[in-house]
A and B are shown apart, each in its own frame.
Chain A
C-alpha cells in the first residue's frame, strides 16, 4: 500500500478541479495531548510538498513527495510533532533510585531534558526504599517498592516534584519485591501488582483506573487473589521464594502477567480471569535448553534476573541473564549479563525458531561492553532505540541502537544521555513499551485549516501515517477508526480503517461516500486492539483532502 490507491474514484477525481488542502490532525479534544499545527506555505508549482520536521524525539521526519491522483502538487502539507502517539509514554526513560525518580525525554535536540520527583511518604516527607520495580501507565510511572516500607508510588505530572504513595498492601513480606503493571480488561484500564505475602503465598491485586478518584485509582473496587505457596513455580522450579516478583512481563494480548524470582522459578497470573497460569501458558515454553550465543534459554526456571517478552507474548529470558528487552522495530532481543551485551534476532526466542543461534551464523552476537561499562537494566523505546543503564553510585543512562538489524555483527551504537545520582533500579519495562495503547480521539475541523474553502463540497480525504524511525512499519496493536460529519449535524458511526492504514509511508483515499461531500469535520479514533502495539509513538498521522 505504498502511495495512493486511487481505486474506482480516480477517474472522477481526475476530472475535478483540485483545490488542495492538506489536513494534519491538529485537534486534540479528548486525548489530553496538546496539538500544534503548522501552516506551511503552498509548495512551488512543480515541487511536491516535502517539508521536514523534527519530532519530539529529535528525529528528523523525512516526508517524501505525495501526489494526489489526478492532481498535481495540491495542497499544503502540515507537519508537526503532535500527531498520534501510541502509548502514554512518549520516547522517555524513567530512572528510579532509592528515593528519586527522573524522567528523561529521549530528545537529543532538546538536550535530553529531565524531570524529577522526590519520593515522599504520606506526610510529604522524603521517603526512600530499595528494590524498586516500575511500569509506565496512563497515570504516570508506577513504582513498586520492597518490603515493610513497600507499596505503590506514583510519579506523575499531576504531582510535580513529588512521587506519592497510592496504595500500601498490609501483607507484603519484608523481602518481597512488588512487581507492578497496567492492563485493560475490555475498556476498563487497571493497575495490577504481585508480591509475596507474609503468609507465604503469591498474591495478585488489581485496582481499576478511574481518573476521577484520588490518585486515579478506585481502591473501593480493588480485587485480589492469593495463589499457592511462594515456593511453587512453573515446571517444578521451586525457587520462587520470598522474592516471587523480582521481574515481570505483561503480555497485553493474552492478559498474561508473568513473574519470576531472582534466577529461580517463574509463575504467572491471567489478569483478566484472576487465575494462576501454568508453564503451558508460556507461548515459547519449548525453547528451554536452546543455545543463543552465550545464553541457554529457560522459560520456566533458572530464569534471568528480570523478565521481558516480545509482541507475540513470548517470554524473553535465559538462564544466567540479567535483563532482556525486545526491540520491535528491529525485531531483535537485547540481553545483558554482568559485563556483556548480547544482541539476537527475535526468532531465536520463538518456539518455531532455529534449534540454535550462533554468532558464526550472525543470528546473535556477544558484544564487548568495555566502551560503555556494564549495562544491565534495558528497556526498548519502540522507535528502534533501547535504553540501557550502567548502575552505580552514579547511574549512567544510554540509548542504544542496532547498527544493522540484518547484520548483527555490526553491533550497537551506544550514546550516553544522562548521569543520574544514585543507584538505579527498574528491572522491567521502564520506557512504556509494553503498555496498551490509550484511546485517543482527535477532531479535525477543516474550516480551521489553511486552504479550505467553506461551502465547497469535499471531494475526498486521504489518510496515512509516517514512521518516525524513517522506516516503513506495519501497525500492530492499534485500531484506527474514522468518522466524517458536518458540524452540528448527525455524526455516523466510526468506520474501521485499520486494514487500510496498516502500513506507514502511504496514503489511502477514504471512501468519498463516507468522507466526502458536505462535511467539514473529521474525527480519528485510535485505540488498542487489546495487545501491545509496535506503533512508533512519535509517528505523524496525516490527512489530506481536496475540494
Chain B
C-alpha cells in the first residue's frame, strides 16, 4: 500500500509544481526588480561598468538560435520558427524586465527573475509569450504560457513542455488546445 501512496504523493507534488509554474508569472514578476522606471521628464546618467566587472557582466556567449515548434490541435502551426523572439516587459509595467532575444542568450543579462517574450512566427499567424522565471535564463526551464491569436484572443497553454537544448540549438515544443 505504501508504494501507491508514495506515487500519489509524488503525482500531487508534480501537479502542484506544474500549476505553480503556470501561474508563476503573476508573482515572480514582482520580485527583485532592480531597474528604476523613470517618469517622463526625469533623467539619469548612465555611467560605465567598471572594467574589472565587464567580463562578469557581459559574458562572451556566442549567439544561439532558437527553434520552436508550435503545435495547435495536434497540428504543427508552423514548421519552423527560427526568426526571432522578442522579449518584452510584462503588461504589469510596475516590473521592468530586461529585454532579450532568444537567439542571443547571454545568461548574466537576465537577473531580474522573469522575462516574457513575444514570438513572431513566420507567417504572423500567432504570437506567443515565453516566460522564464528561474532567473538564470536556462532555456530548459522556459515555459511557454500563452498564445495570442490574430484576433487578439489569448489562449493559455494546457500542456507546457520544457524547451530543451542540444548543441547550442534550442528546441521547444508547446501544445495548445
Q: A339-B98, A415-B43 are in contact. Are A394 and B38 (CB under 8 A)?
A: no
Interface presence of A286 (CB below 8 A): no
The answer to whether A423 and B48 touch across the interface, beta carbons within 8 angstroms, is no
A413 to B100, alpha carbons, bound, how many Å?
23
B47: contacting residue among A293, A338, A368, CB under 8 A: A368
B41 at the A interface (CB under 8 A) = yes
Contact of A275 with B by CB under 8 A: no
Known contacts A146-B124, A148-B123, A360-B51; is A371 also within 8 Å of B46 by CB?
yes
Is A392 in contact with B46, judged by CB distance below 8 angstroms? no
Interface string of B32-62 (1 = CB under 8 A from A): 0011111111111111110100100110000
* Chain B contact surface mostly: loop
Complex contact B46–A412 (CB within 8 A)? yes
A338 to B46, Cβ gap below 8 A? no
- Report if B11 contacts A (CB, 8 A): no
A129 contacts the other chain (Cβ, under 8 Å)? yes
Q: Give complex CA distance A148, B89 in Å.
A: 27
Asked if A396 is at the interface of the complex by the 8 Å CB criterion, the answer is yes
Tell me, yes or no, whether B86 is within 8 Å of chain A by CB: yes
Shortest CB-to-CB span from A345 to chain B, Å, is 14
Kindly state whether residue B166 has any CB partner on chain A within 8 Å: no
Contact B98 A338, beta carbon cutoff 8 Å: yes
Q: List 9 A-B contacts (CB under 8 A).
A: A146-B120, A340-B109, A341-B46, A367-B46, A373-B37, A409-B47, A411-B48, A414-B45, A416-B38
Query: Are B48 and A175 closer than 8 Å at their CB atoms?
Result: no
Q: Which residue of chain A has its CB nearest to the CB of B88? A: A392
Contacts of A391 in B (CB 8 A): 86, 88-89, 99
Q: Min CB distance, B41 to chain A, in Å? A: 7
A residues in contact (CB < 8 Å) with B:
108, 112, 129-131, 146-149, 174-175, 242-243, 262-263, 293-294, 302, 305, 319-320, 337-341, 359-360, 365-374, 376, 390-394, 396, 398, 400, 403, 408-419, 423
Q: A372-B46, A416-B38 are in contact. Are A393 and B124 (CB under 8 A)?
A: no
Residue contact B89 to A393, C-beta cutoff 8 Å: yes
Given contacts A175-B122, A418-B40, contact A368 B49 (CB under 8 A): yes
Number of A-B contacts (CB under 8 A): 159
Cβ contact within 8 Å between B58 and A340 = yes
Which listed residue (B46, B49, B103) contacts A263, Cβ 8 A?
A: B103
The answer to whether B49 touches A149 (Cβ under 8 A) is no
B123 touches A359 (CB 8 A): no
**CA A302 to CA B64, docked complex, whole Å:** 11
A306–B113 Cα gap in the complex (Å)?
27
> Please, which residues of chain B bring their CB within 8 A of the CB of A414?
38, 43-46
Whether B143 is near chain A, meaning CB under 8 Å from some CB there, is no
- Are A403 and B45 neighbours in the complex by a CB distance under 8 Å? yes
Please, how many angstroms separate the alpha-carbon atoms of A366 and B41 in the complex?
Answer: 24
* Bound Cα distance A421, B40 (Å): 14
> Judging by beta carbons under 8 Å apart, are A368 and B83 in contact?
no
Complex interface: chain A residues within 8 A of B124 (CB):
129-131, 146-149, 174-175
A112 pairs with B40, CB closer than 8 A: yes
Q: Is the CB of B104 within 8 A of A393?
A: no
CB of A423 within 8 A of CB of B54, answer no
Return the CB mask of B6-24 against A: 1 if under 8 Å, else 0: 0000000000000000000
Q: Is the CB of B44 within 8 A of A366?
A: no
Task: Report Cα–Cα, A408/B51, bound state, in Å.
Answer: 13
CB contact list, B47-96 vs A, under 8 A: 47-49, 51, 54, 57-58, 63, 83-84, 86, 88-91, 93, 96
Which among B45, B49, B106 is the interface contact of A366 at CB below 8 angstroms? B49
A340 / chain B contacts, CB cutoff of 8 Å: 49, 57-58, 109
B46, B51, B99, B101: residue with the most chain A Cβ atoms closer than 10 Å? B46
A132 → B minimal CB distance (Å) = 11
Within the assembled complex, what's the spacing in Å between the Cα atoms of A345 and B99? 26
- A415 and B88 contacting across the interface, CB-CB below 8 Å: no
A294 x B86 contact (CB < 8 A): no
The minimal Cβ–Cβ distance linking A485 to chain B, given in whole angstroms, is 49
Assess whether B104 is in contact with A339, with CB atoms less than 8 Å apart.
no
Q: Return chain B residues, CB-CB under 8 Å to A365.
A: 48
With A262-B84, A340-B57: A392-B40 Cβ-Cβ less than 8 Å: no
In the complex, what distance in Å separates the CA atom of A326 from the CA atom of B151? 39
- Nearest-neighbour CB distance to chain B for A467, whole angstroms, equals 23
Q: Is the CB of B44 within 8 A of A371?
A: yes
Q: Which of B47, B90, B118, B127 has the most CB of A within 10 A?
A: B47
A338 near B100 (CB under 8 angstroms)? yes
Whether the pair B98, A320 counts as a contact (CB closer than 8 A) is no
Complex CA distance for A370 and B44, rounded to whole angstroms: 10
Docked complex Cα distance between A320 and B101 (Å): 11
Closest CB-CB distance, A262 to chain B, in whole Å? 6
Give the complex CA separation of A108 and B96 in angstroms.
25
The 9 closest A-B CB pairs, nearest first, are A392-B89, A371-B44, A415-B43, A365-B48, A175-B122, A416-B38, A367-B46, A339-B109, A374-B99
Q: A340-B57, A366-B54, A418-B40 are contacts. A393–B91 as well, Cβ < 8 Å?
A: yes
User: A393: nearest residue on chain B (CB-CB)?
Assistant: B91
Q: In the complex, what distance in Å separates the CA atom of A372 from the CA atom of B84?
A: 24
List residues of chain B with CB within 8 A of the CB of A418: 40
Given A376-B99, A398-B38, A414-B45, 18 more A-B residue pairs with CB atoms under 8 Å apart are A112-B40, A130-B127, A146-B120, A148-B124, A175-B124, A263-B104, A337-B58, A338-B99, A339-B100, A367-B48, A368-B47, A370-B36, A371-B38, A391-B86, A392-B89, A412-B45, A412-B46, A414-B46
> What separation, in Å, do the CA atoms of A390 and B93 have in the docked complex?
12
Distance in angstroms from B2 CB to nearest chain A CB is: 50
Residues of A within 8 A of B54 (CB): 293-294, 359, 366
CA distance A319 to B46 in the complex (A): 23
Q: Looking at the assembled complex, report how far the CB atom of B32 sits from the nearest CB atom of chain A, in whole angstroms.
A: 13
Residues of A within 8 Å of B58, CB to CB, are 294, 337, 340, 366
How far does the Cβ of A351 sit from chain B's closest Cβ, in whole Å?
24
Q: Which residues of B contact A130 (CB under 8 A)?
A: 120, 124, 127
In the docked arrangement, what's the CA distance between A376 and B104, Å? Answer: 14
Question: Is A393's CB under 8 angstroms from B42's CB?
Answer: no
Provide the bound-state CA to CA distance between A423 and B118, in Å: 10
How far, in whole Å, are A302 and B63 apart by their CA atoms in the complex?
Answer: 9
The CA-CA distance from A232 to B31 in the complex, in Å, is 46
Question: Are A175 and B98 neighbours in the complex by a CB distance under 8 Å?
Answer: no
In the complex, A400 Cα to B100 Cα: how many Å? 21
Task: Using CB atoms, name the residue of chain B closest to A243.
Answer: B83
Q: How far is the CA of A112 from the CA of B43 in the complex (A)?
A: 14
B127 to A: closest C-beta gap in Å: 8
